[in-house]
């Protein structure tokens, strides 16, 4: 699976969460959730179990629904399912409680479900639960609207919750900054629950017993700055939720720590916190608190806080997945694309160029006498030189161009849609000029030159290796002709470098 495919799958699953609530009744919502979950996760089968029976399923042959086996998987008595016509498959389940508990389960033949997929399935089950609750409330309200105004108020509250969750999901799918998403969630929690205080606490590190406040409403920021991290045992309901991995409700705060008292001006009378997860592990908690002595938290309040905490988990897992993907496909020193990512993009651009009648230019660049700088001034100076070179290289490229570090002091540039060889030459000349300017390295201003080889694609050249070899040969020719210059590939060069790669 390519990088773009994995990225698209994550976005499709996030968008899926926002679709489930559009169904008009409980039966179609459950059936639609099962079908869309199976499609999004490429699962052979999927089902929802409620009230001790399978209420919806997809993927099973007619008359061959293995209900007892599905109930065993839903009850966590087994973790694999034998699917008729397919065989034994690994499963993933997500359960919800409340007045109508249920389980969403999926089975897939070709691969087990990743931690990220498991987390997203839990988020989907949570939204399905909220949708079913909203639909049942709506049905009751239509019968009792004239008699029960409080029920209508609850329905409006549920609708507001769904709207907030939609906004949060949209922000996650559009890759907005994590801090902005977390602020959205804390603000939405205050709006829905009506408490004066909301705080999002995250562990200082995965195995740490300390936590830090990362987003809040109604807490004293200047106090939080004095103590960036605090022990879980001193974090009140937030710390207990992390320790127990469950919702914690506290009434009265005579036992609270001095720091919590300072953060809340000593006015905290009741609080509730729900755990937050990152890739399945407890990583923090979302806490709400009230100044009102009569404040009590209902089952609906608990459900609402759990929903927001689940979306914090989604945001954290998604952000960390994106960060890990970036690190895997980019050079840690320069921030440029890695060799693997560059080659993947080169192959795709060559295919597109062949289809669209365009050309691709490939530039191979090697710094001249880099080893001398590294040996005389040290590896730190060499790293600074490479980082500055990368920055100057990117400054001369368009947003559609791709630059990569191939290792050592070798760089590559992909130019898409160049009209002529002269276009590529002009870019290479700009790169040579900017790299040739003095660089502040180890307290000195050093001048470093580079040699660049240029090769352009031709019709019928689908193999990236051919274009790479030509650019490499041209680069060696530039070094042979005096360094600090560029050369454009010609077929005659192959006679001088028959084994260059």
Quote the pLDDT of residue 44: 93
Let me know whether 356 and 447 are in one domain: yes
Query: Model confidence over 141-185: pLDDT tens digits?
Result: 776 766 666 666 777 778 888 888 889 988 888 888 888 999 999
Let me know whether 348 and 205 are in one domain: no
Quote the pLDDT of residue 200: 92
Let me know whether 180 and 67 are in one domain: no
Let me know whether 76 and 194 are in one domain: no
Distance CA 484, CA 432 (A): 7
Question: Among 328, 354, 371, where does a domain finish?
Answer: 328
Number of domains in the chain: 3
Q: What is the CATH number of the domain that holds 350?
A: 3.30.70.270
In DSSP notation, 186-240 reads: HHHHHHHH--SEEEEEEESSTT-SEEEEEEEESS-HHHHHH-S-EEGGGSHHHHH
The SS3 assignment for 361 reads strand
Please, which residues bridge with residue 92 across strands? Answer: 106
Out of 145-149, 220-224, 261-265, 346-350, the most confident range is 346-350
Contact 305, 197 (CB under 8 A): no
Range in 7-11, 142-146, 444-448 with the lowest mean pLDDT: 7-11
Mean pLDDT across the chain: 85
Question: Among 66, 91, 125, where does a domain finish?
Answer: 125
Query: Model confidence over 73-96: pLDDT tens digits?
Result: 999 999 999 998 889 999 999 999
CA neighbor of 137 nearest in space, from 303, 358, 351, 375: 303
Query: Model confidence over 14-41: pLDDT tens digits?
Result: 666 667 767 888 899 899 999 989 988 8
Let me know whether 80 and 218 are in one domain: no
In DSSP notation, 81-114 reads: EEETTTEEEEEEEEEE-TTS-EEEEEE-SS-PPP
Residue 149 covered by a domain: no
Contact 381, 448 (CB under 8 A): no
16 φψ region: left (φ > 0), alpha (ψ -120 to 50), beta (else): alpha
Quote the pLDDT of residue 82: 92
Query: Model confidence over 318-343: pLDDT tens digits?
Result: 877 666 665 666 787 888 888 888 88
Quote the pLDDT of residue 50: 95
Question: Among 309, 328, 347, where does a domain finish?
Answer: 328
Quote the pLDDT of residue 7: 56
Quote the pLDDT of residue 491: 87
Let me know whether 353 and 452 are in one domain: yes
Residue 164 covered by a domain: no
Which residues constitute the domain of residue 297? 175-328
Residue 492 covered by a domain: yes
Let me know whether 490 and 353 are in one domain: yes
State mean pLDDT over 462-469: 85
The pLDDT-based confidence of 108 (bands split at 50, 70, 90) is very high
Residue 501 above 90 pLDDT? Answer: no
State mean pLDDT over 6-12: 57
* CA angle, residues 401, 404, 405, in degrees to nearest 5: 160
Please, which residues bridge with residue 276 across strands? Answer: 284
Query: Model confidence over 365-393: pLDDT tens digits?
Result: 999 878 777 777 888 888 888 999 999 99
Residue 248 covered by a domain: yes
In DSSP notation, 372-389 reads: HHHHHH-HHHHHHHHHHH
Neighbours of 282 (CB within 10 A): 18
Contact 301, 161 (CB under 8 A): no
Note the pTM of the prediction, 2 decimals. 0.48
Let me know whether 420 and 358 are in one domain: yes
The pLDDT-based confidence of 106 (bands split at 50, 70, 90) is very high
Distance CA 188, CA 481 (A): 65
Let me know whether 316 and 405 are in one domain: no
Q: What is the CATH number of the domain that holds 275?
A: 3.30.450.40
Tokens for 204, please give them: 């200082």
Residue 152 covered by a domain: no
Percent of the chain with pLDDT over 70: 90
Please, which residues bridge with residue 249 across strands? Answer: 272
Let me know whether 319 and 419 are in one domain: no
Residue 440 above 70 pLDDT? Answer: yes
Residue 146 covered by a domain: no
The SS3 assignment for 58 reads strand
Quote the pLDDT of residue 65: 92
Residue 355 above 50 pLDDT? Answer: yes
CA neighbor of 118 nearest in space, from 204, 37, 34: 37
State mean pLDDT over 474-479: 92
Residue 257 above 70 pLDDT? Answer: no
How would you classify the pairing of strands 281-290 and 444-446?
unpaired
Residue 110 above 50 pLDDT? Answer: yes
Residue 254 above 50 pLDDT? Answer: no
State mean pLDDT over 263-288: 89
Quote the pLDDT of residue 286: 95
Let me know whether 308 and 211 are in one domain: yes
Contact 214, 202 (CB under 8 A): yes
What is the helix (H) or strand (E) element at residue 69, kind and residue range?
A: helix 67-74
Residue 206 covered by a domain: yes
What is the helix (H) or strand (E) element at residue 248, kind and residue range?
A: strand 248-251
Residue 154 covered by a domain: no
Please, which residues bridge with residue 91 across strands? Answer: 107
Let me know whether 249 and 112 are in one domain: no
Contact 105, 43 (CB under 8 A): no
Quote the pLDDT of residue 499: 53
Tokens for 151, please give them: 């029920």
């Amino acid at each position: 699976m390519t990088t773009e495919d994995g990225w698209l799958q994550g976005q499709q699953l996030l968008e899926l969460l926002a679709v489930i609530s559009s169904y008009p009744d409980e039966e179609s919502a459950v059936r639609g959730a099962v079908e869309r979950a199976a499609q999004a996760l490429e699962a052979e089968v999927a089902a929802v179990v409620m009230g001790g029976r399978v209420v919806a399923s997809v993927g099973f042959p007619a008359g061959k629904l293995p209900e007892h086996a599905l109930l065993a998987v839903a009850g966590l008595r087994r973790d694999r399912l034998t699917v008729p016509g397919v065989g034994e498959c690994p499963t993933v389940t997500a359960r919800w409680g409340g007045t109508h508990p249920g389980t969403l389960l999926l089975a897939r033949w070709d691969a087990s479900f990743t931690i990220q997929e498991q987390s997203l399935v839990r988020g989907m089950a949570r939204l399905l639960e909220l949708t079913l609750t909203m639909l049942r409330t709506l049905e009751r309200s239509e019968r009792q609207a004239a008699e029960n105004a409080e029920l209508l108020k609850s329905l409006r509250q549920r609708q507001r919750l769904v709207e907030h969750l939609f906004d949060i999901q949209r922000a996650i799918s559009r890759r907005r900054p994590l801090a902005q998403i977390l602020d959205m969630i804390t603000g939405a929690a205050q709006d829905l629950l009506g408490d004066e205080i909301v705080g999002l606490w995250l562990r200082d590190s995965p195995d740490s017993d300390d936590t830090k406040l990362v987003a809040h409403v109604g807490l004293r920021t200047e106090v939080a700055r004095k103590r960036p991290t605090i022990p879980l045992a001193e974090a009140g309901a937030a710390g207990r939720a992390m320790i127990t991995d469950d919702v914690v409700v506290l009434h009265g705060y005579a036992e609270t720590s001095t720091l919590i008292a300072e953060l809340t001006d000593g006015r905290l009378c009741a609080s509730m916190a729900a755990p937050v997860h990152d890739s399945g592990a407890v990583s923090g908690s979302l806490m709400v608190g009230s100044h009102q002595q009569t404040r009590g938290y209902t089952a609906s309040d608990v459900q609402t806080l759990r929903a927001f905490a689940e979306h914090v988990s989604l945001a954290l897992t998604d952000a960390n997945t994106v960060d890990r993907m970036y690190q895997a496909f980019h050079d840690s020193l320069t921030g440029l694309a890695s060799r693997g990512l560059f080659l993947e993009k080169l192959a795709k651009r060559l295919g597109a160029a062949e289809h669209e009648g365009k050309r691709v230019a490939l530039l191979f660049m090697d710094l001249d006498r880099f080893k001398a700088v590294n040996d005389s001034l040290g590896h730190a100076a060499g790293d600074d030189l490479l980082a500055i070179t990368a920055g100057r290289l990117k400054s001369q490229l368009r947003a559609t161009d791709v630059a990569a570090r191939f290792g050592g002091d070798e760089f590559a540039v992909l130019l898409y849609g160049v009209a002529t060889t002269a276009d590529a030459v002009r870019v290479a000349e700009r790169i040579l000029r900017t790299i040739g300017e003095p660089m502040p390295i180890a307290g000195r201003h050093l001048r470093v030159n580079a040699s660049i080889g240029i090769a352009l694609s031709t019709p019928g050249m689908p193999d990236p290796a051919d274009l790479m070899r030509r650019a490499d040969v041209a680069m060696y020719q530039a070094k042979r002709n005096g360094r600090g210059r560029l050369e454009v590939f010609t077929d005659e060069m192959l006679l001088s470098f028959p084994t260059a790669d």
